Amino acid sequence: MRRVLASLLAFAASALLLTGCQAELSETGEALTVEQSEMLAQTRFQVASRGEVVLEISALPAADVGHLDLTVTLDPVEHLAWGTMDRGPEGIAVTQNVVFSPDLFATDASGDWQTASFDAAPSPALAVIFSLGADRPENAQLLRQSDARYLGAEDVDGETLSVFRLPSSDGSSTASTRMWLDADGRLRRLDAGGDEKLVVLLTDAEPEPKPEGLDGGVNG
């Protein structure tokens, strides 16, 4: 399943109330240089080329009743994720094992997997992780001609990350979804314009093995 960069924006715009950029970063940004557009064009292909990767996902503020914290292993080629989910306000959240695909969402309740349509997932925002990888690079020239913008650089845990706002699907410059890339062009973070709506961190942790007992899996 291949999705272009614009689909990330279309999803985020429809599913989330996006916040503005952090004060340290430009709100308007700069047009991409040739080098930046070429780096951004490789980003999702590079994610798919990495193979399985461990994600840390946070959705909504910690005190919100709908708050989620997940640590999952993503297979960007098979479009399958598995791991643990803390659901609910911080301090009283309920922890569950989860496995999900773009179609189905399974939770482990007392040793028995319960599978439902992805529409019943605790947040539609989780679907965005299946757009992180692509089977080929994007078109760098089209990216440079789009309303994608370079917002600046941030130091995170001693590492300088370049922050880009992705292009809007209609060229309206209303996009807020951001990708944070390291010096090698690797995607380290994707967010919905701030820290409280949706943050996806790509880590260097060792992937967990796929769980057993799913009766054929969750790929429909």
Q: Express each pLDDT in 6-45 by its tens digit.
A: 445 444 444 333 333 344 798 889 999 999 999 999 999 9
Distances (CA, A) of 186 to 85, 102, 202: 25, 24, 9
Tell me which fold the domain 5-200 belongs to: outer membrane lipoprotein receptor (LolB), chain A (2.50.20)
Q: Express each pLDDT in 38-91 by its tens digit.
A: 999 999 999 999 999 999 999 999 999 999 999 999 999 999 999 999 999 999
Strand partners, 86: 69, 95
List the structure tokens of 32. 């991409």
Alpha carbon distance 16, 30 (integer Å): 24
Alpha carbon distance 206, 183 (integer Å): 22
Angle at 206 between CA 203 and CA 211, to 5 degrees: 110
pTM: 0.85
Alpha carbon distance 101, 75 (integer Å): 10
